[in-house]
Amino acid sequence: MKNISHAIIGAVALAFGLVASAGAGTLEDVQARGELNCIVSTGLQGFAAPNDEGVWEGFDIDFCRATAAAVLGDANAIKAVTATGKTRFTKLNAGEGDVLWRNTTITFVRDVDVPLRFHGVNYYDGQGFMARKDLGVMSAAELDGASVCIQTGTTTELNLADYFRSNGMSYEAVTIEDNAEARENYQAGRCDVYTTDASGLAATRATFPDPDAHVILPEIISKEPLGPATRHGDDQWSDIVTWVLNATVTAEEKGVTSANVDDMMGSNDPEVLRLLGVEGNLGGMFGLNADWAYQIIKQVGNYGEIFERNIGVNTPIGLPRGLNALWTDGGLQYSPPFR
Ligand SMILES: N[C@@H](CCC(=O)N[C@@H](CS)C(=O)NCC(=O)O)C(=O)O
């Protein structure tokens, strides 16, 4: 009896092992499919939203494109799989996407318990509040008793509760599922304030007919390190996503841009030559072509180009680099070395 049950357990374990290894080869799956499935938001201007032609654009979309350039050699070979705050992790872990590029905050519980693999920070953010100017509120400290539009399944929801509790204030939550619903409710006056990541507030305000009628309050009540995530169990794929992000940051630090990357193939900086695959074959170490990072930079650009094009000071979103400046400029963006 004991032997039989052991045999059954062994067979089940073997079957699970096979399933796990069959599902582990995300790189092979993506290459066989010829398309990268990125889980992105349902629509957040500047980060991930369809343009007038229905083509998805934005900061997170560009990182999805960068990943596709690295693994498929084609930044356009992407599919945007939309997810709300609540559905994103379930969708990722159910295999509906290969990677999550969706203004997602790294937290202990998400990393360890959901579980997810995180790969660094593509945007250092923090939670803020937006209110109509005519409300006359100048500070979050004046929000006692306010009604607050808040998206479910987010860190925003948890921080809001912490902030009001620790300041001895109360609020009435108006819960919403996605950013479109938040915009609608806030604009219709169903809540006094809208709270989310400060980048999300700027992005949302930029879509209003009268952005100047709204003020973003000075308080930032949390740390929101936003970054990509993948499933547990596929180290090769996790390494790829980590180094796609690092490649964009190193490229900026080294002055390699989409415009000069061909000239940079003749650089006299050995790290640039390793990054671009002219010397050595870093790409081969995780199953990619030697030119994987060249393709990212040529087709999508370096970190600074991605930032400025989508959300920078010359876009309607108008975000300064702030904490997202390179470490060499006093910011936090810092890539480990390419060697
Ligand atoms: N960073 C926070 C919040 C992320 C979040 O979902 N933000 C909202 C408001 S900016 C959003 O992106 N909405 C887009 C959507 O609904 O799809 C988190 O990871 O929980």
Asked if residue 5 belongs to a domain, the reply is: no
Does residue 228's CB lie within 6 angstroms of at least one atom of ligand 1?
no
Which pLDDT score is estimated for 65? 99
Q: Examine the fold and report which residue of 178, 200, 222 is the final residue of a domain before the chain moves on.
A: 222
Nearest to 272 by CA among 325, 338, 329: 338
Report the number of distinct structural domains present in the chain: 2
| CATH number of the domain encompassing residue 199 | 3.40.190.10
Ligand 1 atom nearest to 178, measured from its CA: 16
Nearest to 61 by CA among 326, 251, 306, 250: 306
Instruction: Check whether residue 167 and residue 254 sit in a common domain.
Output: no
Instruction: Check whether residue 117 and residue 238 sit in a common domain.
Output: yes
**Token pair 């925003």 is at which residue?**
156
Which pLDDT score is estimated for 7? 44
Instruction: Check whether residue 235 and residue 187 sit in a common domain.
Output: no
Does residue 179's CB lie within 6 angstroms of at least one atom of ligand 1?
yes
| Average pLDDT for runs of 10 along the chain of length 339 | 43 42 79 98 97 97 99 98 98 98 98 98 98 96 97 96 97 96 96 98 96 96 98 98 99 98 98 98 98 99 99 98 98 98
Instruction: Check whether residue 113 and residue 236 sit in a common domain.
Output: yes
Does residue 207's CB lie within 6 angstroms of at least one atom of ligand 1?
no
Asked if residue 28 belongs to a domain, the reply is: yes
Task: Note whether 173 and 13 are within 8 A (CB).
Answer: no
Which pLDDT score is estimated for 6? 44
Which pLDDT score is estimated for 8? 45
Instruction: Check whether residue 239 and residue 163 sit in a common domain.
Output: no
* For ligand 1, atom 20: residue with the closest CA: 154
Which pLDDT score is estimated for 3? 45
Nearest to 242 by CA among 288, 205, 203, 202: 288
Instruction: Check whether residue 97 and residue 158 sit in a common domain.
Output: no
Residue from 110, 151, 177 to probe ligand 1 pocket by mutation (most atoms less than 8 Å from CB): 151
Ligand 1 atom nearest to 83, measured from its CA: 17
Which pLDDT score is estimated for 10? 41
Asked if residue 294 belongs to a domain, the reply is: yes
Asked if residue 263 belongs to a domain, the reply is: yes
Instruction: Check whether residue 249 and residue 323 sit in a common domain.
Output: yes
Asked if residue 322 belongs to a domain, the reply is: yes
Instruction: Check whether residue 158 and residue 241 sit in a common domain.
Output: no
Ligand 1 atom nearest to 226, measured from its CA: 1
Asked if residue 25 belongs to a domain, the reply is: yes
Dist. CA 149 → ligand 1 center (Å) = 12
Does residue 178's CB lie within 6 angstroms of at least one atom of ligand 1?
yes
Instruction: Check whether residue 145 and residue 81 sit in a common domain.
Output: no
Instruction: Check whether residue 21 and residue 35 sit in a common domain.
Output: yes
Dist. CA 202 → ligand 1 center (Å) = 13
Instruction: Check whether residue 23 and residue 99 sit in a common domain.
Output: yes
Ligand 1 atom nearest to 82, measured from its CA: 17
Residue from 88, 196, 319 to probe ligand 1 pocket by mutation (most atoms less than 8 Å from CB): 196
Which pLDDT score is estimated for 64? 99
Q: Examine the fold and report which residue of 222, 256, 279 is the final residue of a domain before the chain moves on.
A: 222
Instruction: Check whether residue 118 and residue 167 sit in a common domain.
Output: no
pTM (global) more than 0.85: yes
Residue range of the domain that includes 112: 12-124+226-329
Asked if residue 338 belongs to a domain, the reply is: no
Q: Examine the fold and report which residue of 222, 249, 279 is the final residue of a domain before the chain moves on.
A: 222
